[in-house]
Amino acid sequence: MNITFRQIEVFLAVARSLSFSQAAVACHLSQPALSATIKRLEETLSVKLFERTTRQVSLTDVGLEFQRLAEHLSDSVLHTQVRIKEYAAGKRGRLSIAAGPSIAAGFIPQVLKVFGPQHPDVEIRIHDELSDTCLEMVRAGKADIALTPAMHTDSDLVSVPLFKDYLVVLFPLAHPLAQKKTVRWSDLQAYPQVAVNNRSNLRQTINEQYRALGADFAPAYEVAQVATMLGLIHAGLGVGVLSESLVERASLDGLAHRKLNSRSAYRRICTTVLAHRAPPPVLTAFLTLCKQVAAARG
């Protein structure tokens, strides 16, 4: 027969109070039931835990040692209960986020600025990768969620729209576009352009916009990094299009920007998770906050 945690609770109640009657009240047991519980515990251990007379209850040497061990076990169980309740409430755990570079640099920090202080015991990992890599990380279980600029209809994934990430054009402060209140795609064709390469979802969006105008997008400079792009624009070598979420957080000293005046000049940012996996509580809490921050963007 194994010791039960209830037996340990009853033992500790008697050991702390050194009174069977007080312990019975604390444990919501009749005194005969409490005495029977202690007896079964002693029989299981094949030891005597208490010396009991008509006037006094005391622990035996073995009882004192068992009390020390039982107190430690009780504390461990209580600690475990607290930890699992915190985990179930999304206050503890691990969260792995995969996001496209612009989303990781722009939107994710806005969310974590609130989420972090509210969930100080959550271990967070951010993977800033291209969209396809983000989705594969979710499939492989390396990320709990992906935030990417596209809806995905694969049966193993569930994508939910989060917000529209509008496109803006950047240019030096003294550029002719600075005189315009609104800028159209057609306005950009008169100037050399700097763009990220075709691996980027942003570049694919720009290509689609130009095809809709019946033109091919042919940038004067093609780069891999946004920092390089900004440097070339700052030097007056061209204008460039970036997403609003990234521009909001980028250092734009010496540069101005305008939102492109086109109904289709945006990327729809979506959250993507595995279709057949119940989300861990911490992910549910993160998703809720993502929706709140996205709604506040307007």
How confident is the model over 200-258, as pLDDT tens digits? 888 888 998 888 888 889 999 999 988 899 999 999 999 999 988 888 777 788 999 99
- Check if the beta carbon of residue 246 is closer than 8 Å to that of residue 226: yes
CA distances from 221 to 43, 177, 193, 218, 233 (A): 84, 19, 7, 9, 10
What does the pLDDT read at residue 90?
Answer: 67
CA angle 28, 33, 38 (to 5 degrees): 105
Per residue in 127-166, pLDDT (tens digit) is: 999 888 999 999 999 999 999 987 777 889 999 999 999 9
| 133: alpha, beta or left? (left if phi > 0; alpha if psi -120 to 50) | alpha
Does residue 222 sit in helix, strand or coil? strand
- Domain boundaries, given as residue ranges, for the chain: 5-88, 93-298
CATH architecture entry for 5-88: Orthogonal Bundle (1.10)
- For the domain made up of 93-298, give the CATH fold: D-Maltodextrin-Binding Protein; domain 2 (3.40.190)
Interatomic CA distance for residues 91 and 61, integer angstroms? 42
